[in-house]
Amino acid sequence: MEAVVNNAEVADSLRFAVLHLSRGLRGSGRLGESRFCVLTVLAQGPMTVSELASHERVSVPSMSKLVSAMAEAGQVRRERDAVDSRRTEVTITDEGRAALDAASLEGAAWLDQQFGKLEGDDIATLGRAARIMRAMITR
């Protein structure tokens, strides 16, 4: 007989696990969650503040404030589009990429430590769960 699954309980448990795993994966936290997310997105290519806000599900004014702070810190820069001068794109700088790389390395080391604490086929189970979650967010 299969166990009855309570979607709300699974959602709460998953939310808790994802949030705490995310903290560990971001490294020591020197970069901060918001900056880590923005730099991760910009490492794939430039975006406008509006596109970043939409991607990160925050308001445009909030993203604009964050991008301004990141530009002051030298992590990103704003550049006018060569074709449409009304459009300003945000790009990651070398300093931003270095900060992202450092945080990513710290996070990978942390996750490797966590994997060392697992038993049996837990890593394979996590791999399957990761594929399911990736499919959920890319549909």
What percentage of the chain carries pLDDT values higher than 70? 96
Q: Judge whether residue 30 has pLDDT over 70.
A: yes
d(CA 113, CA 21): 12
Whole-number pLDDT of residue 27: 67
Indicate the helix (H) or strand (E) that contains 111. Answer: helix 94-116
Q: How far apart are CA 18 and CA 109, in angstroms?
A: 17
The residue written with tokens 């991760």 in the block is 40
Answer whether residue 26 shows pLDDT above 90.
Answer: no
User: Which pLDDT score, from 0 to 100, does residue 2 have?
Assistant: 66
Over residues 20-40, the mean pLDDT reads 83
- CATH architecture of the domain formed by 25-138: Orthogonal Bundle (1.10)
Question: Which amino acid type is present at position 70?
Answer: M
Is pLDDT above 60 for 1? no
**Mean of the pLDDT values across residues 10-30?**
82
3-12, 30-39, 49-58: range with highest mean pLDDT: 49-58
- pTM of the entire predicted model: 0.77
Q: What are phi and psi of 43, to 5 degrees?
A: -65, -20
pLDDT tens digits, one per residue of 44-97: 999 999 999 999 999 999 999 999 999 999 999 999 988 888 899 999 999 999
d(CA 22, CA 107): 9
Q: What is the pLDDT of residue 28?
A: 62
Measured from the Cβ of residue 42, the count of other Cβ atoms closer than 10 Å reads 23
